[in-house]
Structure 1
Amino acid sequence: MKIEISEKAIHWFKEEVGLETGNKVRFFSQIYGTSPIQEGYALAFTINNDSKDAAVHTVKDGITFFIEESDLWFFKGHDLSVEYNEQIDELEYRYHKGNS
């Protein structure tokens, strides 16, 4: 599994959340939401500077984005792409069947 973060999404994180070099963002599953790969669950994020249980991570502009081992079930073998949608001024999560 891999995580990809677009340049526009990085800009959104910096402007809207105030992230800086050295910060860490954890993506995790939450109940009572919607996603195209898990009925009844959605993907969320939190600023979390403890990534000791990270199963997957990527670093972009000095910011680490990660998913813990306990949340891998949510992805069902899909990779995660985080994009920014200008029309709705929000992040969009896209899931692609991964080969890794």
Structure 2
Amino acid sequence: MQLIVEQPAASWYKQQLELKNGESVRIFIKLGGCSTVVPGLSLGVNKELPINPGLSATVEGVTFFIEEANLWYLDNKGLRITFDEQHEEIDMIVE
């Protein structure tokens, strides 16, 4: 199980959330949205400090993480975060 944040996605988040090097982004479970993993739940992001990270990746000077308590959502799979340039949007792919 691993967290992969591709460089274009990290750059997009850095710009959109006005992130500076050394800051962090929490990936969390939220009610609603579109998911192929758990119906009725999806992933969201927020600029936050980690408390007990289960997975993390530092890209473009920013640490992206998922708290240990939220790893159940991935069902022992990994998460890849990509940026779709054609549609100018983020894709979160559980693989």
Is the 2:5–2:81 contact (alpha carbons within 8 Å) kept by the matching residues of 1?
Answer: yes
For residues 60 and 11 of structure 1, what CA distance do their matches in structure 2 show? 8
- The AA in structure 2 aligned to 1:11 is S
Structure 2 residue aligned with 1:55: 54
For residues 13 and 46 of structure 1, what CA distance do their matches in structure 2 show? 10
Runs of 4+ in structure 1 deviating by more than 6 angstroms, as ranges, are none
Percentage of pairs with the same residue: 27
User: Taking structure 1 as the reference length, what is the TM-score of the superposition?
Assistant: 0.88
Structure 1 residue aligned with 2:16: 16
Structure 2 residue aligned with 1:74: 73
Structure 2 residue aligned with 1:93: 92
Deviation at 1:61, TM superposition (A): 2.1
RMSD value, Cα: 1.1
Is the 2:83–2:91 contact (alpha carbons within 8 Å) kept by the matching residues of 1?
Answer: yes
For residues 42 and 89 of structure 1, what CA distance do their matches in structure 2 show? 19
In the alignment of these two chains, the number of paired residues is 95
For residues 40 and 5 of structure 1, what CA distance do their matches in structure 2 show? 24
For residues 7 and 86 of structure 2, what CA distance do their matches in structure 1 show? 16
Deviation at 1:52, TM superposition (A): 2.2
In the TM superposition, what whole-angstrom CA distance separates every residue of 1:16-54 from its partner, at most 9, and x where no partner exists? 1111101100001111222111111010010002x1211
